[in-house]
Amino acid sequence: MPVFPANVPRRSARQWIAVPVRIQAGELHVDGMTINMSEHGMYLFAAANLAVGTQIEITYRPPRENKTVCACGIVRRKAVFLYGIEFLTDDTAPLEIPRYIEQLS
């Protein structure tokens, strides 16, 4: 499993976005809340015990949108109930995130 030092620059800028999310990891289904997002991942809060390396599916609806977005990701960082999620590949990153982040800038 790769180690990600704290001083490595991010691939994309983060935007503060707080929206409810539904997380699925195998049989586990838990609700959470995003803290910030970028086109490559998100930081979220969830009262769950997800291990680093766990693959998850995240479902949410961006503000002012009618369509639900589904993204596949992997837990890269964990601090109690805070999780850094990386979208598995650029191909699986939801297309709505870059468009939505552009609108906020």
**Model pLDDT, residue 76:** 95
> Hey, what amino acid is at 75?
V
Which pTM was predicted? 0.77
Architecture of domain 16-104: Beta Barrel (2.40)
Element (H, E) at 4: none
Instruction: Show pLDDT as tens, one digit a residue, over the chain (105 residues).
Output: 455 555 556 667 788 889 999 999 999 999 999 999 988 899 999 999 999 999 999 999 887 888 888 889 999 999 999 999 998 865 555 555 555 555 554
Q: Enumerate the domain spans of the chain.
A: 16-104
Distance CA 67, CA 101 (A): 16
Distance CA 96, CA 80 (A): 29
User: How far does Cα 3 stand from its chain's mean position?
Assistant: 18
Q: Where are the alpha helices (DSSP H) in the chain?
A: 96-104
**Model pLDDT, residue 6:** 57
**Model pLDDT, residue 19:** 92
